[in-house]
């Protein structure tokens, strides 16, 4: 079953091969958007495309690349403009956990990779996508964050610092975009049944956690053209408990 809430909208999703990114890609496609799915793994993207086609009768556009690949990031804005002439929805779900270790124990290369993937890539994507998003009548940018951004804990230094930096960057950009059609949202999904969560808490029973698919209604709602706040900060569980889901 599909609807037309996002009919005609062009949506780019990073981290679309699994977890929250994959669920969001499916949800936006079901709502009528044309999905541009980005992730490192071609095979997983092809499986996503197969499911989107089976459910909607439309194919996604697949862009396999690593967020650490600066050259690939520099091409993405131009490629979207050449094919679609605009970008209506940008969902940045890709992230890496990195090692959970004391701050003083990080190897520089490991710390830098987390910052590169979670923070620097956010800046480079904003830089590339802002011009093509300004061509939309109502562009929406949704960034998946974490409670670690505001409540860091022992051994989570690199991840917490990268997410706190990402939130500060997005808040700054949202303020700069106030006079444009671009509106931003930061989403804290909380504990969810994802691979990253299993890596961080290997002893946790995944059956006690919500599935990534449960966040789809929130992501579709935030992608709507009639959302008006310059910046929204949404905690998924609070949103669910407030009766929106």
Full 3-state SS string of 183-243:
EEEEEECCCCCCHHHHHHCCCCCHHHCCCHHHHHHHHHHHHCCCCCCCEEEEEHHHHHHCC
Catalytic site residue 81?
no
In this prediction, residue 210 carries a pLDDT of 81
pLDDT at 3 exceeding the cut of 80: no
Catalytic pick from 81, 106, 123, 159? Answer: 159
- Model confidence band, residue 243 (pLDDT cutoffs 50, 70, 90): low
User: Are the beta carbons of 45 and 68 closer than 8 angstroms?
Assistant: no
Q: What is the pTM of this model?
A: 0.93
d(CA 28, CA 52): 10
In this prediction, residue 1 carries a pLDDT of 43
Taking only the tens place, the pLDDT of each residue in 152-210 is: 999 999 999 999 999 999 999 999 999 999 999 999 997 778 787 777 777 778 787 88
Please count the residues of the chain.
245
């Amino acid at each position: 079953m599909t609807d037309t809430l996002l009919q005609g909208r062009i949506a780019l999703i990073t981290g679309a091969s699994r977890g929250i990114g994959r669920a969001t890609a499916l949800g936006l496609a079901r709502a009528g958007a044309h999905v541009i799915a980005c992730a490192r793994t071609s095979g997983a993207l092809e499986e996503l495309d197969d499911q989107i086609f089976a459910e909607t009768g439309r194919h996604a556009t697949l862009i396999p690349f690593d967020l650490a690949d600066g050259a690939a990031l520099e091409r993405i804005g131009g490629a979207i403009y050449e094919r679609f002439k605009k970008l209506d929805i940008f969902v940045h779900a890709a992230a890496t956990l990195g090692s959970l270790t004391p701050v003083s124990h990080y190897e520089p290369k490991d710390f830098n990779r987390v910052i590169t993937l979670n923070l620097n890539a956010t800046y480079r994507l904003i830089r590339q996508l802002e011009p093509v998003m300004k061509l939309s009548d109502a562009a929406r940018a949704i960034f998946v964050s974490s409670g670690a951004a505001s409540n860091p804990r022992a051994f989570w230094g690199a991840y917490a610092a990268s997410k706190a930096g990402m939130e500060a960057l997005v808040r700054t950009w949202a303020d700069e975009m106030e006079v444009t059609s671009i509106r931003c949202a930061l989403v804290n999904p909380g504990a969810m049944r994802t691979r990253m969560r299993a890596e961080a808490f290997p002893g946790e029973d995944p059956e006690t956690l919500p599935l990534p698919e449960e966040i789809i209604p929130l992501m579709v709602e935030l992608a709507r053209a009639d959302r008006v706040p310059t910046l929204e900060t949404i905690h998924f569980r609070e949103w669910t408990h407030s009766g929106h889901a």
